[in-house]
Amino acid sequence: MNCESVLDPKDLKKMEPNETFEKQVTFKREINVTDHSTVHALSGMYEISFSFQKHDNDPFISLFPIELNSDKDPEILTVEQARDRTKEKDEVKKWFEEHEGEGMTIESEESILNDGIWTVIFRAIHKDGADRIIINMDAKSGEFGEIHYDKVGLETLKLLNE
């Protein structure tokens, strides 16, 4: 979702211990697809986060989940639709067949929506790490972009799992 900046310089003040203040914020039910366009937020779980930076650079961060149910048709592919669509592409099917044929477990990594492009990532786990396929796709049209291949070692795989 998209949050307009809530910083108002008039809110900045010195606070005494146990002093409180209230601030009302309205979230738009939109997500940024690019720097210049938004779409209605998809139904699903979202995480609201807010933070304060104290003058001594000690941050305070709070996170809490909310569930959004949208009554509007999606303007972009959902992450599930993007993942399913990638599996229909012949090049991706071949990658799955080759790796499953070798007895490797295939996992989906977290997909990324950035600048109107879904990046969908799968990895095939083996004893030395994992082979990855990274598929880019237009979030609105579903048209495929570049497909990249990557190999990661056990240490990198461990970091990806954290």
Least confident of 16-20, 36-40, 123-127, 149-153: 36-40
Can you give the pTM of this predicted structure? 0.64
pLDDT in tens, 46-70: 777 777 777 677 787 888 787 877 7
Three-class DSSP category at 8: coil
Question: Which domains are present in the chain?
Answer: 9-68 (no CATH), 79-161 (3.10.450)
Predicted pLDDT at 129:
92
> What does the alpha-carbon distance between residue 37 and residue 46 come to, in Å, rounded to a whole number?
20
pLDDT in tens, 74-114: 688 888 999 999 999 999 999 999 999 999 999 999 999 88
Contact 147, 85 (CB under 8 A): no
> What does the alpha-carbon distance between residue 132 and residue 125 come to, in Å, rounded to a whole number?
9
> What does the alpha-carbon distance between residue 122 and residue 103 come to, in Å, rounded to a whole number?
15
